[in-house]
Structure 1
Amino acid sequence: MSNRDAYEQKLQAKLDEWQAEIDKLRARARNAEADARIEREKEAERLEAKRDEVRDKLKEMREAGDEAWDDLRDGAERAWKSFSDAFEKARSRFK
Structure 2
Amino acid sequence: MSKARKPGLTQQQFEAIGRAISDPRRYAILHQIAAEPGLICGALEAHQHISAPTISHHLKELQEAGLIDIAREGRTASLFLRREVWESYLDSLASL
Question: By the TM > 0.5 criterion, same fold?
Answer: no
User: Per residue, is there more helix in 1 or in 2?
Assistant: 1
**Structure possessing the higher radius of gyration over alpha carbons:** 1
User: Per residue, is there more strand in 1 or in 2?
Assistant: 2
TM-score, with normalisation over the residues of structure 1? 0.29
